[in-house]
Amino acid sequence: MIEGEQARLRYTMTPNVEAWSLWIQGLNHYRGPMSKESHLQSRRCWERALALDLGSATLNATLGFMRFGDARHGWTDDDRETALSKADAYVKRALSIDPTPIAAPA
């Protein structure tokens, strides 16, 4: 991933300052020890951020990843198929907003 792509992901995932603040709060929970509670706290922050900026491909993609984690670890009240369906919907929305692939690190 080139430096410009990293900056685009890190700093322009939303123009909404409140959504960006919630993004950072979610990252703080996510980067701590992995647990059901930290995962849920991250997801809640990012869901609130997305409510403020529905057009953020990054937030949609991240919530798709989180819903996949819910299904994988059983950290949801939904059955596994419902959790995977929610993950898929977020990913499809992210791709409809920004279909540009980000290069994987070399």
93-106 pLDDT, tens digit per residue, is 999 998 886 654 44
- 25-83 pLDDT, tens digit per residue, is 999 999 989 899 999 999 999 999 999 999 999 999 999 999 999 999 999 888 999 99
pLDDT in the model for residue 13:
72
Nearest CA-CA partner of 12 in 93, 88, 83, 100: 100
Whole-number Å distance between alpha carbons of 94 and 65: 11
Residue 106 · residue 2 · CB < 8 Å: no
Is the pTM for the entire model greater than 0.75? yes
Give residue for tokens 């791709």. 95
Per-residue pLDDT tens over the stretch 6-20? 555 555 677 889 999
Taking the CA of residue 25 as centre, how many other CA atoms within 13 Å lie in the half-sphere pointing to its CB?
15
